[in-house]
Structure 1
């Protein structure tokens, strides 16, 4: 072989070796992220941490982060650590939809626990349904799970259940004529529709109705009309956020306190009592056992769960517990238990196991889901509470 041919062969060999090394390098780069990915499981969350619904999203955010840290410290899920990816939508449905898309396309999450409000949840549902990623919502309206969507679940009691619990109590007190004053937001509108639908079942007549917007700062005009309507025996306020607290204050200012006022589970946090002040005295509402955990009888199956969560949350955050953080707790652990049963990070297998949840004792009640029920709670999960001396009290059955 001539020197020039030997040089050509040498160059060819070097090029071949270089190509082999490049291939190995590329292969190695492809394998390394996969190995890391196998050590973690990504769970997404879009919450209203700031903005008008921050009283929902902030405790949800704190709860998820607190318990993900605890789960990871205990070894994760079958040895895999949870990587929680949280975005703050500020209560904006358009932002929520954008973040939902980002969770799927960029972050590659296997499941989602979030959606602080009905509006943001409804905006995200099509995204997760199309991607076939399980979505456990923390919002209230029944339209989230009725009709049933394959990949969508939720933890809070529905607005329909709240109406039923309220009218059950109204009927027990012998009242038949009520007025509604409802928020025009997604939750308020949905609950108003459900209350109108179920009222006749309890022999209740809705005599008059008023509404208020999410940014309204005074409801005196609407309440004055209600006050002037003859025969009103109770007033029901479907709504959440600051609106119900303003309604409650205006209610007292107009001297209407002799007529019972009912609020929804959408105000089931100490912040409502703080915002409404002394005017909240005597207000009744349906809520989860979490708010009165220490008042539950020792034999109540939820007592240990709600008392432990309350202590853990309040010790960590130095803030009073709310049912909204509890919804996050329930959603996270329903998902974690489903992942353990599935022994997989495949979203479809996780979805199937979420739907098979049975007898899960959470802060909101005892959850048993099915292909036709993606909530898994019945009316017994609600407790009827009354504000007394600036705190929640548990009403005895039938009172």
Structure 2
């Protein structure tokens, strides 16, 4: 199917290039959540973000994020990025003069709560599209309902199953477990590492990584000598690490979201595991650095370029939009955005661009997005009828924790 190239975004301060304007942040109010990072003057979950004054009927969009619970380090920055961009969109006239109204819901990092939230948004709030959720489990439940209702949805979850197999109207912005697995394996090949152990969460996110590692290991000449898992809320993984230490593994891959990966790293150091630890992008944020402390020195991680914005090559197609987004986010929240904030930012931008191209008709959104090429902070999206994620492993990088910071691994 022939793809159309987005020419530019119609927001203030836009440059004439293939990148859209990121949030400028001037006068923006910080996002409100009950899951951390709140700074006052906010909208609680379930309350619509006010739209710019307009005589035209607003376009109602739902946004279900994990604002409390285990996935709140993901959901809070996603909501902040969406609120920042929403203000800019409406100040620029919304979609064909219609303001965009977003109704936020907190799924509490729970699969059942996510499904309850999307059902409420459809039946009570009459939304025409939805963003979310932050986690793979909640997103899978939402996607099943959204597909049945023919409700356009853009997820912020990494599991490949969210968009594979393809379902009409269901898209996602994060790199998948397939992308992360391939990028890590490419690095291992370069280092001559052929034997690995895995220690992954048993939830849908970690299980997805386990499946992809099993699938692609033979292609890269890699043997899995130990395969362990843990529960999301398990306080210790020392028994699994002890088993791994007794093998001839040359590296350990860990797939999960914080706090577990940080706990694994600290316990591995205590046990003197003695092999490189490579984490998935599920823990690629400042929370990991905070939790792991000095034990994190030398840990490797696969991530998007937004994790190290100052180290992105100036000639990279993403460089300009990453800089604009980071500057706007820092001005609004006095904090560095992470990849999760980027997922929310790209999600809303894609949704609004799709609505503009569809003339405000949400029923055409899925068909329109399949033709979109978009340079975002997460990567260069090239959607098609066969690919509703549109990214490749080439948009991911390897980083290393050095002196308590993420550094691009060269």
TM interval, shorter chain, is: 0.7 to 0.9
Superposed, which structure 2 residues align to 1:1-399 within 5 Å? 38-229=56-247, 231-256=248-273, 258-344=274-360, 346-358=361-373, 360-396=374-410
User: Could you tell me whether the CA contact under 8 Å between 2:154 and 2:172 is conserved in 1?
Assistant: yes
CA contact (8 A) 2:199 2:253 kept: yes
Q: Deviations over 1:288-347 (max 9, x none)?
A: 111112111211111111111112112211233110010000111011111111112x22
Q: What is the DSSP-based 3-state SS (H/G/I as helix, E as strand, rest coil) of the residue aligned with 2:217? A: helix
TM-score by length of structure 1 reads: 0.87
State the Cα distance separating 1:265 from its structure 2 match.
0.7
Q: In 1, Cα distance between the equivalents of 2:164 and 2:365?
A: 21
What are the superposed Cα offsets for residues 20-66 of structure 1, whole Å, 9 maximum, x if unpaired? Answer: xxxxxxxxxxxxxxxx8943111111110111110011001111111
Cα distance 1:37–1:180, how it changes in 2: closer, same or farther (>3 A)? farther
CA RMSD of aligned residues (A): 1.4
CA separation in 2, counterparts of 1:207 and 1:37? 64
Larger Rg: 1
**Cα distance in 2 for residues equivalent to 1:97 and 1:375:** 22
- What is the alpha-carbon distance in structure 2 between the residues aligned to residue 134 and residue 354 of structure 1? 10
Structure 1 residue matching 2:164: 3-state secondary structure: coil
Q: Give, in angstroms, the shift of residue 175 of structure 1.
A: 0.7
The alignment partner of 1:262 has SS state of: strand
CA separation in 1, counterparts of 2:323 and 2:294? 27
User: Distance in 2 between the 1:57 and 1:220 partners?
Assistant: 29
2:281–2:303 Cα contact (<8 Å) kept: yes
Alpha-carbon distance in 1 for matches of 2:117, 2:312: 39
> RCO higher in 1 or 2 (8 Å CA, sep ≥ 6)?
2
SS at match of 1:77: coil
Separation of aligned partners in 1, 2:210 and 2:84? 35
2:44 corresponding residue in structure 1: none
Calculate the TM-score normalised by the size of structure 2.
0.85
Structure 1: gaps (5+ residues): 1-35
8 Å CA contact 1:115–1:138 kept in 2: the answer is: yes
Determine helix, strand or coil for the equivalent of 2:113.
helix
Q: Secondary structure at the match of 1:147?
A: coil
**Cα distance in structure 2, aligned partners of 1:319 and 1:88:** 22
Give the Cα–Cα distance (whole angstroms) in 2 for the partners of residues 389 and 334 of structure 1: 36
Contact 2:258 2:287 in 1 (8 A): no
Q: How far apart are the structure 2 equivalents of 1:74 and 1:145?
A: 31
Matched pairs, number: 358
Shift of 1:221: 1.2
In 2, the alpha carbon distance for the partners of 1:39 and 1:381 equals 38
Alpha carbons 1:306, 1:363 under 8 Å: kept: yes
Q: Deviations over 1:272-296 (max 9, x none)?
A: 1111111111111111111112111
Distance 1:85 1:356 in 2: 27
Q: Distance in 2 between matches of 1:320 and 1:222?
A: 34
Unmatched segments (≥5 aa) in structure 2: 1-53
CA distance in 2, matches of 1:90, 1:317: 23
Partners of 2:149 and 2:125 in 1: CA distance: 13
Whether the aligned pair in 2 keeps the contact of 1:290 and 1:322 (CA below 8 Å) is yes
